[in-house]
Amino acid sequence: MTKRIALVLGGGGLKGFAHIGVLRALEELRIIPDTYAGTSIGAMIAAARIGGTSVSDLAARAEGLRRKDLFRVNHFGMLLERMQSHSIYQEEPLREMCNASIPDGTFASLKHRLLVNTVDVDRGARMVWGLPGLQDVSVRDAVYASCALPGFFPPGHVGDRTCIDGGVVDNLPVSITSQFADIIIAVDVGSSDAVQETRADTQGFATIYMRAATMMFHALQQYPLERWHGPPMVLIRPKVNDANWLSFADTTANIAEGYRAAMKALERFESYWGNASCVYPRRRVQIDVDRDRCTGCGLCPTLAPTLMGMDGSHKAYALTHIVEWSPADGGFVHECPTNAIIAKNIDRRVAEPEPQRDPSPSGAGG
């Protein structure tokens, strides 16, 4: 029986060019997905790859993009329609990008299964195009809608539906994809590093909005990942800068980071088969609490009751000091308001820098 591999590419603005590096790694490792799924830029890159665009061509197109190629302010609409304007940016550049990278046709005409995650904004319901019964629509239209971040681009029309970016409900659609896979490779670029050096109140509204979106995407994703009951999953979280959702400055670096993160996460890929409900790669982590920093707020045992407790002095402590974590675990460490929880990687197979008191929201397993 053929083993089915699904590749799920999450949304994350222009940070999503890291997906191209992941595709390059898969190509080198000769890992060929049967099903592709994606949200926003993940959907666009997945559709382009299924449509026959090579990894090198994807990289060249990404590195050749400039701000004017995608972001053209909708001056006319905002001036005349004001609050009734559909978006800050014009629809045409994003449409042109979809048309240039994705062959014309329906989901039914594709050689491989493609799932494009959107939200029907009128019904308030998720629409995953490419599922059975949802295949006789334009792939280009579905991908545009999946990229239509509310407020930034106008909603898209897919068949008779009005749809927007699926990330507002599910930025990494692994659950719906699991029915078509014996193993899932999921790439999350939407919540890699919510901690920023610059204060939000010194930035413009677009930056503040995207920071809020990062936190929303992460919170929505964590629930299914921490309670995963599907086929084995390899979760890849490239270390890309969340401050640059809309910046073209880091394209080459993001592609390289996607490649690095994928090659690292897939080192033991063949050993993951058959281990249902497991998220990989895994590593051992030591949990400690700085008692001087701990205020006894009780947040950590509330978020992680199986790992954290409160002692007689009303200070937090680790119920188990050594744990085995995947990249989906350890989010509660970041939630500590005084950075009192220290999570240190002790897996000797992985070179690790000095422990940090304020890790990324991907947890110590990232």
- In one letter, which amino acid is 108? A
Radius of gyration of the chain (CA): 21
Q: Are 43 and 146 in contact (CB under 8 A)?
A: yes
Write the DSSP string, 228-273: --SS-EEEE-----GGGTT-STTHHHHHHHHHHHHHHHTTTGGGST
Alpha-helical runs (H) found in the chain: 18-29, 41-50, 55-64, 75-80, 92-101, 139-147, 174-177, 205-226, 251-265, 299-303, 331-335
Q: Which residues make Cβ contacts (< 8 Å) with residue 346, sequence separation at least 6? A: 284, 285, 286, 322
For 272, phi then psi, to 5°, come to: -85, -15
The residues annotated with a catalytic role in the active site are: 40, 165
